Amino acid sequence: MTIDPMKAQDVWKDVGQHVQFTVLKLNRKDQAAERETIEEFADRYQAILRSLRIRDADGDLKAAFGFSNAAWDYLFPDAKKPKELETYETLSGPKYSMPASEGDLFFHIRAKDEAVVYEAISQFRRFLKDVTTVVDETKGFRYFEGRAIIGFIDGTEAPQIEDAADYAIIGDEDPDFINGSYAFAQKWRHNMDFWNKLKTEDQEKAVGREKFTDLELEDGEKFKNAHNVASKAEINGVEQKIVRMNVPYSDPASDNTGTYFIGYSRHWTVTKMMLKNMVEKSDYLLTFSDILSGQLYFIPSRPLLDSIAEGEL
């Protein structure tokens, strides 16, 4: 058995234009009823996506839906568990922390048309609203030229589309959960006034790349805690990659502008290593940001969603 990207959810492409991240909490009042609702939803979810793709054939609707470790334990206490699924706990370094937050069910929806994103999430909510509470809903958007809200092109060193599946999708190492993925979702609020007042040369040293051309700086030109230095993860000298699909979000009225980080990986340990390196090296991005939430979710393959729908877990 090898990875089959067609059996995976949309964990390896694409970033999208209009994006919504939704985190729900199970009410934990009636385990049997909540499990039954989720089983039905596992089928409904896929039918809703199929229907919307017919209704908006060019809309590029992409979606991923998954469970946190806490949700998995609660809903499927007798089932096997993905090998690397754990509850994300706060990571702390010498100066900064990356706090953990609650969440059971996670959705990452994106499409060319915001109406399709709205319709998808509204239909999902119809089936889930009696057993869940909303923890967070964030709408992200594609910024000019695919730049992060801090003005730099985002994703250059992430794997390109032809290779993305191998980095995002679980393979033979965990056969019961093949074609699943580990999604790490983390919401960052940036102090944009601070950032915008920096000189462009200093911003470039902080990210490790030129702002306009996106060319990488020489190592000696970067700050020691430049983002592309601090976030690097290597195992036995080999650089590790994950599939990153971060997007900006903004709620200007409440002065809340930032980046919703989403990274899909075959191995959660790789994403975790990047996060650890960032806090340990006080990544420059942390110096002007607050991290509002963070949790790990397992995104089942489509056949595993079918097994959930059949009550087989």
Could you tell me which of 203, 193, 36, 20 has the C-alpha nearest to residue 121?
20
Query: Could you say whether residue 232 binds ligand HEM (CB under 6 A)?
Result: yes
CB atoms within 10 A of CB 280: 16
Strand, helix or coil for residue 25: strand
Strand, helix or coil for residue 154: coil
10 is catalytic: no
Furthest C-alpha separation in the chain = 59
Could you tell me which of 285, 190, 196, 188 has the C-alpha nearest to residue 246?
188
Identify the DSSP state of 177. G
Could you tell me which of 199, 188, 206 has the C-alpha nearest to residue 248?
188
Whether residue 14 is preceded by a cis peptide bond, meaning omega within 30 degrees of 0, is yes
User: Is 48 or 270 the residue whose CB approaches ligand HEM more closely?
Assistant: 270
User: Is 35 or 281 the residue whose CB approaches ligand HEM more closely?
Assistant: 281
Single residue of 285, 286, 299, 313 touching ligand HEM by CB under 6 A:
285
Query: Which of 10, 104, 136, 154 is the catalytic position?
Result: 154
Single residue of 231, 293, 295, 301 touching ligand HEM by CB under 6 A:
231
Single residue of 204, 263, 286, 295 touching ligand HEM by CB under 6 A:
263
Quick note: the x/- pattern for ligand HEM over 149-188, rule CB under 6 A, is -x-xxxxxxx---------------------------x-x
Q: What is the CA radius of gyration of the chain?
A: 19
| CB 149 to ligand HEM: min, Å | 7
List the interface residues with ligand HEM, window 76-115 (CB under 6 A).
none
Question: Which residues contact ligand HEM (rule: CB under 6 A)?
Answer: 148, 150, 152-158, 186, 188, 207, 209, 227-228, 231-232, 244, 246, 259, 261, 263, 271, 274-275, 285
Residues identified as active-site: 154
